[in-house]
Amino acid sequence: MSGTEPSAASDLDDRRPSATRRVLLWLASLVAAALLLLIVVRFGPIDLWPDPLVLPAPWLFVAACALQIPYTLTRAMRLRFVLDPLVTAASDDAQRRFDWRVLQGSGMVSYPIVIMLPFRLGELSRPLLLTRAEQPGVKFAESVSAIAVERVVDGLVIVGMLFFGLGFATIAGNADPETVAYVRGFGRLMALTFVLGLGALLAAALRPELLERIVERTIPGRLGQRAAAAAGRIAGTIAVLLDWRRGLPFLLWSLIYWALTICQLWLVLLACGLALGFADAAAVVAIVGLAIQLPGGPAQAGSFQFGMAAALGLLTAPAQQAAASSFAALMYLLQLAGACALALPGAWLLARARRAEPDAT
């Protein structure tokens, strides 16, 4: 980093919430989690913990656990299509790729942080880890913009899965039509949100100089100049994906990642004796994916169970409550334990990258 540019850590130090604010955030998250869990217990079609645990095909659950590795690797590697061109340009072709150890290690370490912290406060963990690697051309602004693009694309894929899933899934006969309409309406609202987000990102990428002028005029003084420079770098990062040679592979690998997500969840469904199809599994992934955007507690407590209850209420019958409850509990434990387990090799990869020579790739 240059001596004139403040580090990401110093920028965040200025915005670090006070101890009182942190306590209030955690208390609010616990209250939100308790309310959502209360709704699930009172009105939901699942129990928070199944009694008995229904798992007639445990080998399928083992297969789902094994999918956690390619799922995690695929999710992490997508960013190379955004970051590699920045590294190549900044190093004058001396280094052609972002260090793969940091790419994978930051993903593995940040995922459990995102899950564990309430209100998605852990989303900044991966940009900080990417910035800390001090790769050419990749500072905090570039890291944040790369993650922002990833999140918007993921949001649009989730909405697409929702309408695909609900269009081809077998809705249970006991499902409330108003609930189905509510889920579809919420999906449309989220679709509009993500489309507007994508539009804003594309507009910034196409007219970075206009974005810089707007930011500089909006924020006065030296702070405005720094913010405008950061906005220009963010726009430059997003513009990388306007090249189809980068944007198309990024989109394809995103679709592969979400296909693995659906397959993993489908295996757990079948392991618990729920004979649902691929479209049903896609609907569950989408509904839960939208539900965890709601304010919830640490480890997605409350929001995850709320999404599961909404999805399984549409796709399962009351006689399947034990199997549905088993599926929800095992899926929750799988995503939580899987993310935490892979954080250890992720930390090892980051340590190796720090010990390596500066020009190692």
Q: What is the pLDDT of residues 187-198, one digit of tens each?
A: 788 778 888 877
DSSP 222-287: HHHHHHHHHHHHHHHHHHGGGSHHHHHHHHHHHHHHHHHHHHHHHHHHHHTT----HHHHHHHHHH
For residues 296 and 61, the model is more confident at 61
Residue 78, phi then psi, degrees to nearest 5: -60, -30
Tokens describing residue 292: 């965890």
Task: Please give the average per-residue pLDDT across 222-228, as a whole number.
Answer: 75
Neighbours of 192 (CB within 10 A): 11
**Torsion of Cα atoms, 248 then 234 then 198 then 184, to 10°:** 110
Sorting pLDDT into bands at 50, 70 and 90, what band is 9? very low
The band of 12, judged by pLDDT with boundaries at 50, 70 and 90, is: very low
Looking at per-residue pLDDT, the higher value among 167 and 57 belongs to 57
Q: What is the arithmetic mean of pLDDT over 54-63?
A: 97
The whole-number pLDDT of residue 55 equals 97
Q: How far is CA 29 from the centre of its chain?
A: 19
Tens digit of each residue's pLDDT (9 = 90 or more) over 141-168? 889 888 988 988 898 899 889 888 888 8
Map tokens 């869990």 to a residue: 37
Q: State the Cα–Cα distance between residues 57 and 55, nearest whole angstrom.
A: 6
Count other C-beta atoms under 10 Å from residue 67's C-beta. 18
Mean pLDDT over each residue of the chain, to the nearest integer? 86
- Prediction pTM value: 0.85
Banded model confidence at residue 3, pLDDT cuts 50, 70, 90: very low
Range 326-354 average pLDDT = 95
Which tokens is 174 given? 């006991």
CA 322 and chain centroid, separation: 29
Q: Is residue 4 pLDDT above 50, yes or no?
A: no
Q: What is the mean pLDDT of residues 4-15?
A: 47
Q: Which of 189, 172, 88 is nearest to 135 (CA)?
A: 88
How confident is the model at residue 294, as a pLDDT?
A: 75
Q: Which residue has the tokens 């892979």?
A: 342
Is residue 311 within 8 Å of 158, Cβ to Cβ? no
Type of residue at 275 = A
Q: Which residues contact 51 (CB under 8 A, 6 or more apart)?
A: 322
Q: Which pLDDT score is estimated for 361?
A: 45
Position 259 pLDDT exceeds 90: yes
Query: How does residue 200 score in pLDDT terms, banded at 50, 70 and 90?
Result: confident
Q: CA 320, CA 335: separation in Å to the nearest integer?
A: 23
Of 31-35, 91-95, 177-181, the range with the highest mean pLDDT is: 31-35
State the pLDDT confidence band at 23, using cuts at 50, 70 and 90: confident
Q: Is pLDDT at 256 greater than 90 in this prediction?
A: yes
The helix-helix angle for 278-291 and 177-206 (nearest 10°) equals 70
More confident call, 22 vs 309: 309
Is the pLDDT score of 94 beyond 90? no
Which of 96-100, 174-178, 214-218 is the most confident on average? Answer: 96-100
Helix (H, G, I), strand (E, B) or coil at 219: coil
According to the model, what pLDDT value does residue 174 have?
66
Percent of the chain residues past pLDDT 70, beyond the cut: 93
> In this structure, are residues 228 and 215 in contact, taking their beta carbons and an 8 Å threshold?
yes
Position 339 pLDDT exceeds 60: yes
Short-list 179, 118, 187, CA closest to 155: 187
Residue 123 · residue 111 · CB < 8 Å: no
With 0-12 CB in 10 A as exposed, 13-18 as middle and 19+ as buried, what is 16? exposed
178 pLDDT exceeds 50? yes
On whether the CB atoms of residues 122 and 116 are closer than 8 A, the answer is: yes
